[in-house]
Amino acid sequence: MQRTAGLLADGREIIWFDVDGSPARSAVDDPRDLPQTIASSQMRLDVLTQQWISMASHRQSRTYMPPADECPLCPSSDGRHTEVPSEEYQSVAFENRFPSFSTHVEGIDSVDDGITALRPGIGRCEVVCFTSDHDGSFAGLTQQQARLVVDVWADRTTALSSSPGVEQVFPFENRGAEIGVTLQHPHGQIYGYPFVPPQTHHELHSAREHLAQTGSSLFGDIIERELRDEVRVVVDSEHWVAFVPFAARWPMEVHLFPRRQVPNIPALNDAERDDFARVYLDVLGRFDRLYSTPMPYIAGWQQAPVHSDRDLAWLHLELFSVRRGEGRLKYLAGSESAMGAFVGDVLPEQQAERLRQV
């Protein structure tokens, strides 16, 4: 993979990524007149749950659903300057202009009196454009393009892991208006959290207890059980297993695990990265063939925290959709939103069978 680093007009970092053998690229100057991004991100501790809640009021002014000819993620052309100051690109990553966490937080002091705890939201947020094709999708990428994105995730995970204050790196994609995306261009984001988020904390806590009780990895035992039961497996390849989890929360949910335990994306070898591109495109294609319109989804990587539990974690991707039927969505209402108690709409075994059939 070839990488070319540059700076946007307001000082944010941008990196172009190209497959090996592509013509040499030079960073292009961003001619826009942009003020420096100053974030007001802060974190407040909910003492009842011991969870950090992020506040980023400056994000209220972010770009919302512009028409295609005003998309800020398309290449710059014909005098129209976007977030990507070049006439073409394969994949590109840059610092978010409206970040939830930032290395440039001002005016926030730390407070902790036992009831109210507040800290500046020091971290990093990046945008990753999967392709320059505004009308494309991750599912529509070639295997070579998808593999390039995997390498981008690995590169940015390594970089953000060394960023001051970052405790976990989370690459993810929100796809579809039903999910709440504000830009239609095929892209994802990467958060460098200044704390370990609740989902990771809960999973690693369960894994730690399982290891103490059985001497084996909870993640490895889950993979072994799913392969033995077979009924929830959607795709089984040389290096990856994709299955609907036994206790799926969402009306369509698939987890993708490498057969080998690794802590994060950079630890995947070339064969595992190639195989992931094939398996993931297969699964996304099945998602999109289920209904008459493309499936809205969230895809998030569970990686090991930067400074803890590296030997306990097992890298995996959690993919799920709120669509529960043709033209119908699952809303997180009383039980889910107020109590965190999910009620499933479709049996996991039925989900897996439908995905295998398409």
Selecting among 185, 187, 255, 316, the annotated active-site residue is 187
Q: Which of 287, 300, 329 is nearest to 178 (CA)?
A: 329
**How does 131-145 read in b/e, with b if 16+ C-beta sit within 10 Å?**
bbebeebbbbbeeeb
Spell out the SS3 assignment of the chain. Answer: CEEEEEECCCCCEEEEEECCCCCCCCCCCCCCCCCCCCECCEEEEECCCCEEEEECHHHHHCCCCCCHHHCCCCECECCECCCECCCCCCEEEEECCCCCCECCECCCCCEECCCCEEEECECEEEEEECCCCCCCCCCCCCHHHHHHHHHHHHHHHHHHHCCCCCCEEEEEEEECHHHCCCCCCCEEEEEEECCCCHHHHHHHHHHHHHHHHHCCCHHHHHHHHHHHHCCCEEEECCCEEEECCCCCCCCEEEEEEECCCCCCHHHCCHHHHHHHHHHHHHHHHHHHHCCCCCCCEEEEEECCCCCCCCCCCCCEEEEEECEEECCEECCCCHHHHHHCCCCCCCCHHHHHHHHHHC
Contact 233, 259 (CB under 8 A): no
User: CA 133, CA 138: separation in Å to the nearest integer?
Assistant: 11
Verify whether residue 201 is a known catalytic residue: no
Q: Which of 254, 214, 220 is nearest to 346 (CA)?
A: 254
Active-site residue set: 187
